[in-house]
Amino acid sequence: MQYPTNIRIIRTMCSARVSPKFVRYAFRRGAAAVLVSGCHPKDCHYINANSHTQRRVEKLWPELDRKGIARRRLKLEWFTAAEGQKFANANTELRDIVASVTADEIERSKKAYKERLDGR
């Protein structure tokens, strides 16, 4: 199985450790897209931590809308260790999203999050 080489993976012990500040920082630094992933719901190693992840991402989508950033640039997916092909497919989809993001869109997201460096 292969996935695109230009994908940067930042591993955390749990998807609930992915703060919205991390996503905002990625867009501020010029990321074309962000994928947040974790264990399947009902299969969380930390009881229900991935429900926190889902709520956080769902709160970020309207924020992106308000800032003029396309929602498609922030994805949320659930995987198990046995779903390597699903992981590879999700990253291939992400590569396609990255390829479709224009330089103007990246600049807009950098500016949208540059104003407030405290992550709000």
Average pLDDT value for residue range 75-86: 93
pLDDT reading at 60 higher than 70? yes
Give me the residue spans of the domains in the chain. 15-114
Q: Which amino acid is at 75?
A: K
pTM of the model: 0.87
**Distance between CA 97 and CA 86 in Å, rounded?**
16
Write down the pLDDT at residue 117.
Answer: 52
**Distance between CA 1 and CA 90 in Å, rounded?**
12
Please report where in the chains the tokens 């989809």 appear, as a residue.
93
pLDDT reading at 116 higher than 70? no
pLDDT class of 3 with cuts at 50, 70, 90: confident
Q: What confidence tens digit (pLDDT) does each residue in 7-29 have?
A: 888 889 999 999 999 999 999 99
| Cα-based distances in Å from 59 to 25, 52, 56, 99 | 16, 11, 5, 25
Per DSSP, the three-state class of 109 is: helix
Min mean pLDDT across 2-11, 19-28, 65-74 is at: 2-11
